[in-house]
A = this chain, B = another copy of it.
Amino acid sequence: MADPILVEVTRGPLVESTHAGLLAITDADGRRVAAFGDVERPTFPRSSAKLIQALPLVESGAADKLGLTVEELAIAGASHNGEQAHCDTAHAMLRKAGLDTDALECGVHWPERADDVARLNRAGAEPNALHNNCSGKHAGFLCVACEMGVDHHGYVGPDHPVQREVTAALEGLTDTKLDEHVRGIDGCSIPTFAIPLDRLARAFARLGTGERLAPVRAAAAKRLREAAAAAPFMVAGTGRFCTEVMGRFGTRAYVKTGAEGVFCASFPEIGLGVTLKVDDGGTRASEALMAAVIHRFVAKDDEERAFLDRWAHHALLNRRGLKVGEVRVADDVVAALGR
């Protein structure tokens, strides 16, 4: 059966485009609070699972031994814009591990924002691996390799000791066996594993509450969530949804986007985890839908709801700034989520 339409894009009087997808909301035991579509379908979490991928950095003791700051812990779980402060922070982590930019195996791409691209161009410079949105996560992997005393070269490979730790964390949190049959390669060259969507929701409920986690893991998860809440700029950057949500909701809503329309969230106060996947990979839809979910489960006052409404029903502007339509969560989805 086809997945339900979750988000609509209007133009003038008509719906011009639609985004179908999956949404799962569960508690730490996997009990479903909401489910749209086939939420047992294996889904690559991509960057939405970066909090999990950063757990070994804290659990191994590397974060303490290297004296990582709150900003550095936040960027270890980031998909950042490649703004100057992001590059500087990832670079500082590498230096603490006794390494430099050339140790990064994430690849290179231009920064996200036109301003940062212009700054590089005007200086006659090219981007480097620090500008890669995953550079903080990779700096964290290198810190773990340093702490483990293993050769860091090839740390992105599935059989490298660092990735084995990361995979074990994912397996434990999701109660799912992960092997090469469900393994792909992520944009930044590390493995990504397809996991049933509702099991990812369960993992994020656990990360928020500590339920069903060993004390060391529960403490590491709390520390990483608190770092993201304290330094939300580091998790994404100027104007980005994750940064704006965590800047406003603090530890009440941990949220993290991923490529191909995936989004994960943890709402610690109410013990719920959320994962969603837009079938076509569209970020405009994943952000709108996550805003609607936070609106329903976390927002407490009119100002918070108004902020989320601007993301859940946001204006589509044309090249002259005229409002020509809207990206909006479908009415029946909002109704099914309840009030």
Once the chains bind, are A11 and B44 in contact (CB under 8 Å)? yes
User: Does A271 interact with chain B (Cβ within 8 Å)?
Assistant: no
CB-contact partner of A280 in B13, B183, B186, B280, under 8 A? B280
Give 9 CB contacts A-B under 8 Å: A14-B184, A16-B44, A18-B279, A19-B279, A20-B279, A107-B318, A117-B117, A185-B318, A189-B320
A312 within 8 A of B: no
CB distance from A294 to the nearest CB of B (A): 23
Q: Does A124 sit within 8 A of B, measured CB to CB? A: yes
B107 touches A114 (CB 8 A): no
Map CB proximity to B onto A1-19 as digits: 1 under 8 Å, 0 otherwise.
0100000010111101111
Chain B hits for A172, CB < 8 A: none
Residues of B within 8 A of A110 (CB): 114
The reply to whether B12 and A324 form a contact with Cβ atoms under 8 Å apart is: no
Residues of chain B within 8 A (CB-CB) of A88 are none
- Residue numbers in B under 8 Å from A184 (CB-CB): 11-14, 16, 324-325
The 9 A-B residue pairs whose C-beta atoms are closest, nearest first, are A107-B319, A12-B184, A121-B121, A2-B2, A11-B184, A280-B280, A107-B320, A185-B324, A17-B281
Q: Quick check: is A145 within 8 A (CB to CB) of the other chain?
A: no
Q: Is A298's beta carbon under 8 Å from chain B?
A: no
Asked if residues B42 and A183 are in contact (CB atoms below 8 Å), the reply is no
